[in-house]
Structure 1
Amino acid sequence: MIDIENLSKSYGDKTVLENITLNLVKGKVYGIVGENGAGKTTLFNCISGLEKYRGTINCEYGIPKISLGYLQTEPYFFSKITGLEYLKLLCNARNLEPLDFIEKNIFDLPLNEYAINYSTGMKKKLALTAILLQENKFFILDEPFNGVDIHSNMIITEIIQQLKRLDKTILISSHIFSTLNETCDEIFLLKNKTISMRVKKEQFGILENEMKDYSIGNRISKLNLK
């Protein structure tokens, strides 16, 4: 279980997040939606310990980042590290026994090539594979489906379902509402610096319609398309 209480984040005089309170339990998949710039990635960075914040985060696993697998929107790789070396590095960081990385290369990545030369989707799949091999208990997946081919999207969806069956805690963001509808038990709407709505699966349609009304409104009619 992860308890987040009154988490707030500011950059100078600009407040980005204000009094975020969430309770995330094992065996559940949670989604966060919001417009670009709403603060989703900032929230993830705070939870993972990459950003300082006000408020408290309590995790039954101990320090969150010790048992956290964080898939960032744009994973970072050293310029001279191969895909294989990257997998070894992240597993060594958790003192795991040597693995057969070739066998576990489920996305058929060119592991002997430099990761920096991978496509956007390949980088994301490499980073995801690494955090899965770490045997983490808590996962944050920031736009896991973005830039990834349809075949891999299906694999990632099944991975999320399998993590849920293994009693992991999963927090994901996505601009593709159908993927959240398929994977999440509960979705939070991040709006105006805070969680303005939280809905369970049977209410996802209500949230989707509200987001459409808010995002689209009469914008398209202004184009006077012909």
Structure 2
Amino acid sequence: MIKITNLSKFYGKNQVLNAIDLEFEKGKVYGIVGENGAGKTTLFRCISGLETYKGDIQSDFKKLKDHLGLLLTEPFFFSKITGKEYIQLLANARSIEITDMEKGNIFDLPLEQYASTYSTGMKKKLALTAILLQENKVFILDEPFNGVDIQSNLIISRIISKLKDLDKTVIISSHIFSTLAETCDEIFLMKDGEIIRKVKQADFNKLETEMKAFTIGNRIDMLDLK
């Protein structure tokens, strides 16, 4: 269980998160949706312990960050570290022994190659592989499907389902609503740093229709395409 109470975040005088209250349970998958700049990534960074904040985050763990795997939208890699060394580095951080790294290389990545030379999609798959092999209890995946090929997206969807079966907590952001609808138990709609709506699985279709109407509106007509 992760319980967030009255969470707010400021960068100087600019408030990017405003009094957020959320709960995440074990064995469930949660989606966070919202336009660019809504505050999704900042929220994830606060939960992961990468940002200071006002409010309270409680969990079943003494130190949540020691049991949490964070997949950033654009993972960072040192210039002279191979894929294999990166995975080993993250495994060492959790005192995890990897006896057969190639067996866990489900995306067939060139692990002997410098990670900085990977494509955007390959970097994301490497970072995901590394946090999975850490045996974390909580996973935060910021746009895991973005920039990744179709075949890998299918694998990632199955991974999320498997994590749920293993009683993990999974929190995802995505601009691809269909992927969230297929994997999530609950979706939270975020706008201007606030959670403005919480939707259970039974109402996902209604939420998608409302989001399309709100986002698209008459914008296409305004282009006066000919």
TM-score calculated relative to the size of structure 1: 0.99
Q: Which whole-Å deviations, capped at 9, do the CAs of 1:48-98 have from their partners, x for residues lacking one?
A: 011110000001022111000000000010100000000111001111123
Aligned residues: 226
Counterpart residue type for residue 50 of structure 1: L
Once the two structures are superposed, the pairs formed by residues 116-127 of structure 1 within 5 Å of their partners are 116-127=116-127
Counterpart residue type for residue 43 of structure 1: L
Q: Which residue of 2 aligns with 1:205?
A: 205
Structure 2: runs of 5 or more not aligned? none
The offset of 1:209, in angstroms, is 1.4
CA contact 2:9–2:15 (8 Å) conserved in 1: yes
**Percentage of pairs with the same residue:** 67
Q: Which residue of 1 aligns with 2:134?
A: 134
Q: Which residue of 1 aligns with 2:108?
A: 108
Counterpart residue type for residue 126 of structure 1: L
Q: Which whole-Å deviations, capped at 9, do the CAs of 1:106-163 have from their partners, x for residues lacking one?
A: 0000000000000000000000000000000000000000000000000000000000
3-state SS, counterpart of residue 220 of structure 1: helix
In structure 2, how many angstroms separate the alpha carbons of the residues matched to 1:209 and 1:120?
Answer: 31
The offset of 1:42, in angstroms, is 0.4
In structure 2, how many angstroms separate the alpha carbons of the residues matched to 1:136 and 1:39?
Answer: 24
The offset of 1:206, in angstroms, is 1.5
The offset of 1:192, in angstroms, is 2.8
Displaced runs of 4 or more, over 6 A: none
Moved more, 151-160 or 91-100: 91-100
CA contact 2:39–2:192 (8 Å) conserved in 1: no
3-state SS, counterpart of residue 196 of structure 1: strand
Asked whether 1:59 is paired with 2:30, we answer: no
3-state SS, counterpart of residue 80 of structure 1: coil
Once the two structures are superposed, the pairs formed by residues 155-170 of structure 1 within 5 Å of their partners are 155-170=155-170
3-state SS, counterpart of residue 162 of structure 1: helix
In structure 2, how many angstroms separate the alpha carbons of the residues matched to 1:62 and 1:209?
Answer: 41
Q: Which residue of 2 aligns with 1:41?
A: 41
In structure 2, how many angstroms separate the alpha carbons of the residues matched to 1:12 and 1:192?
Answer: 16
Superposed CA RMSD: 0.7
TM-score calculated relative to the size of structure 2: 0.99
Q: Which residue of 2 aligns with 1:6?
A: 6
Q: Which residue of 2 aligns with 1:21?
A: 21
In structure 2, how many angstroms separate the alpha carbons of the residues matched to 1:144 and 1:6?
Answer: 27
